[in-house]
Amino acid sequence: MEENFLIVGLGNPGKEYANTRHNIGFMTIERLAKHFSFDWQVNKKFTTHLARGDQDGKSILLTKPQKYMNLSGKTVAPLAGYYKIHAERVMVVVDDLDLPLGSLRMRPDGGNGGHRGLESISECLGTCSFPRLRIGIGRPDRKQEVSGFVLGQFSQDEMDRVETVIETASNQLSCWINQGLQMAMNNYNGDLFPNK
């Protein structure tokens, strides 16, 4: 029987949010779609952008929900239900303020850590038992407001690191699909720039 995987990149829709820290989930699965040569399509039924295809006998669905972050679950749960994808095969890619830029943390499940997107998905799926890949975006200095920081663009100085992070995260997701969660965690979790 064919294995189905759903990878959800979290972000906010609209040009004004493109390439902001909060949208690193979108950026990562856009890179993954490029690796797999999947094309994006607008899907009005689920209010999302979808890219899909097969890799080595596995059916892979990538999605960028086009509702705002705190409503992500209203896309993810119906999509998983429609394609009969169990929660353990629904990977959510999300930004994390509590990790430095360049840190990757894939986990089989966990709490929401105050992230509205994860909270919405947990509520709508009815479980926290779905894997997630947290991508560190760092914290602002004390003078800067958190919301402004999260919704701000990466600085020019950060862009080289962001490029490395997105590429590595994309490879980690590919490893999860092909070699399983434990291997993906062992091979990729950690800080890509420990001295910065």
CB 173 within 8 A of CB 91: yes
Q: How many helices (H) and strands (E) does the chain have?
A: 6, 8
- The angle formed by the CA atoms of residues 68, 59 and 82, to the nearest 5 degrees, is 50
Q: Which two tokens stand for residue 102?
A: 């360049």
Contact, 38 vs 53, CB < 8 A? Answer: yes
CA distance 99 to 112: 14
Task: Indicate if 22 belongs to the active site.
Answer: yes
Enumerate the active-site residues. 22
